[in-house]
């Protein structure tokens, strides 16, 4: 539940919203993610697309994407030739998204789709980038939390660009921010760094991060 229950965004200024979902072996989660995404988007945005990016999955993730596309004209998918990693999968989605604003969200439902209206409101307030900042991390071990904290402290010391702490990839970028990212020719990508490096006006939205909906994490240390 979000603070916008019962509140509808004004639609007098129509816009197109793209949602990018990188996925690697997420067959257990995609149907529920799709259900919750479409429930939010249908209410708050009259024109939207959901662009799944299959990052070389070896389960039925691609089959589910194909099925969703066949039944819903709002859905598209990109099928990468192998597992390139999340950074490249996000880049592929950003390259193809047509929206006036683009949202990146993980497939595992740790980042709630119900937060999307908050991101949209931040964008309509005039911010170029609206990112979700975790105030809690449900379902994560003490080791995961400790290493994440250490990582952010280290990167702030060695990097020339300030990267917001406790912020993942869940965010909204407007068209000029997306176009700026598309001009970056960096091959070995660290997207959290690039999101900060492009600059522009940015706003944080705090939220409680959920535990993974199903399956297991695909990340290793």
Asked if residue 2 belongs to a domain, the reply is no
Q: State the SS3 of 42-102.
A: HHHCCEEEEEEEECCCCCCHHHHHHHHHHHCCCEEEEECCCCCCHHHHHHHHHHHCCCCEE
Phi, psi (rounded to 5 degrees) for 136 = -155, 160
pLDDT band at 183 (very low <50, low <70, confident <90, very high): confident
CATH of the domain at 86: 3.90.550.10
Helix (H), strand (E) at residue 202: strand 202-209
Asked if residue 220 belongs to a domain, the reply is no
Asked if residue 72 belongs to a domain, the reply is yes
Report pTM.
0.76
Give one word for 18, left, alpha or beta, with left for phi > 0 and alpha for psi -120 to 50. Answer: beta
The alpha carbon of 104 is separated from its chain's Cα centroid by a whole number of angstroms, namely 2
pLDDT band at 207 (very low <50, low <70, confident <90, very high): confident
Asked if residue 10 belongs to a domain, the reply is no
Take residue 157 and report the two structure tokens written for it. Answer: 């010391």
Mean pLDDT computed over every residue of the chain: 82
Domain that holds residue 135: 16-209
Asked if residue 214 belongs to a domain, the reply is no
Using the predicted structure, report yes or no on whether residue 73 has a pLDDT greater than 50: yes
Asked if residue 172 belongs to a domain, the reply is yes
Asked if residue 49 belongs to a domain, the reply is yes
As for how many domains the chain has, the answer is 1
Asked if residue 219 belongs to a domain, the reply is no
Using the predicted structure, report yes or no on whether residue 218 has a pLDDT greater than 90: no
pLDDT digits (tens, 9 = 90+) for 75-108: 999 999 999 888 899 899 999 999 999 999 999 9
């Amino acid at each position: 539940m979000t603070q916008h229950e019962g509140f509808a965004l004004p639609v007098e200024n129509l816009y197109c919203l793209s949602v990018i979902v990188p996925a690697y072996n997420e067959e257990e989660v995609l149907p529920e993610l799709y259900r919750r995404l479409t429930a939010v988007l249908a209410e708050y945005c009259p024109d939207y697309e959901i662009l799944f990016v299959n990052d070389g999955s070896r389960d039925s993730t691609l089959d589910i994407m194909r099925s969703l596309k066949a039944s819903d004209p709002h859905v598209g998918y990109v099928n990468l030739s192998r597992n390139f990693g999340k950074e490249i999968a996000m880049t592929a989605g950003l390259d193809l998204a047509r929206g006036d604003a683009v949202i990146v969200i993980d497939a595992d439902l740790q980042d709630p789709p119900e937060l999307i209206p908050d991101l949209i409101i931040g964008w309509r307030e005039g911010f170029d980038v609206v990112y979700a900042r975790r105030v809690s991390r449900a379902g994560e071990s003490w080791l995961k939390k400790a290493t994440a904290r250490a990582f952010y402290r280290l990167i702030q010391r060695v990097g020339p660009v300030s990267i917001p702490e406790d912020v993942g990839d869940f965010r909204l970028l407007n068209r000029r921010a997306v176009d700026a990212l598309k001009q970056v020719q960096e091959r070995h990508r660290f997207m959290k760094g690039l999101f900060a490096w492009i600059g522009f006006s940015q706003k944080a939205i705090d939220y409680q991060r959920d535990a993974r909906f199903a399956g297991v994490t695909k990340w290793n240390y």
